[in-house]
Amino acid sequence: MAAERKSVEPMAARLRPDRVQAARQSLHHFVAQSRWSDEAVLTSVRRQVLPVIECRGPIVAWTVDDT
């Protein structure tokens, strides 16, 4: 989404402005209750992110923010 914040509440507001709380709860349940493969998600992220980072030169340091 093009929104600045990617937390559940702003996404729910953009997806269902008429029913923000219901959409927030649905999104939260989807994320919290779904079976996720950490390995598959991280592989996908690496596939998308590394080429963008590496196009500026070799990676010297990588800081990861948990938010």
User: Taking CA 15 as the corner, what is the angle to CA 35 and CA 4, rounded to the nearest 5 degrees?
Assistant: 90
**Spatial distance between the Cα atoms of 3 and 46, rounded to a whole number of angstroms:** 22
Under 8 Å between Cβ of 12 and 24: yes
pLDDT band at residue 3 under the 50/70/90 scheme: low
| Backbone dihedral angles phi then psi of residue 17, each to the nearest 5 degrees | -60, -25
pLDDT band at residue 40 under the 50/70/90 scheme: very high
Give the three-state DSSP class for 30: helix
Q: Copy the structure tokens of residue 53.
A: 């980072």
Looking at residue 17, its pLDDT comes to 94
